[in-house]
Amino acid sequence: MESASPVKHEYVAGRIYAMTGTSDAHNFICLNIASALRSHLKGSPCRVFMADVKAKMEQADAYYYPDVMVSCEPAPNPYYREQPSLIVEVLSSSTAKFDAGDKRRDYQSLPSLQEYVLVSQECMDVRVWRRGESGWTVAIYTDGAVVPFNSVGLEIPIEQIYEEAWV
């Protein structure tokens, strides 16, 4: 159904949710992050995906469309990935609570996931959840910071993440 639909949907435990459009700021932030990741990972087995490739979470019985995702797995299916190492979601007022709560927990159920990143589109605020030996920890980056994406060995200045987002 999804491949023939003009509207994207996310699937969670038997329920289907239509996806809405995004703002200019949301788009620029995603593009800035994906471009930096793509440039950095060029020539590696890792691939960067934006918005149109799903992440499958079998344990959570869910499929989501991450805003930006990095996966180094061979692709078993051209429409989703099961082993992403990095997922980025850009927050909107309608998704912020879900992205930081249930969706974060669903993503963190993936054994391959090393970092889950939430990016505000209202102000320079990037929150990175990292998997460590003792569980998940969160680091917060604001104005003037350099945001480390440890899972892929890349640091991005926060100003680059938000470049042209508020034109």
- Domain range summary for the chain, segments of one domain joined by +: 22-161
Q: For residue 17, how many C-alpha atoms fall within 13 Å in the half-sphere facing its CB?
A: 12
Question: What does pTM read for this prediction?
Answer: 0.87
Q: C-alpha angle with apex 108: 134 to 135, nearest 5 degrees?
A: 5
Tokens of 3: 């491949």
pLDDT less than 70: residues of the chain: 1-22, 75-76, 167
Superfamily covering domain 22-161: tt1808, chain A (3.90.1570.10)
The pLDDT assigned to 130 comes to 98
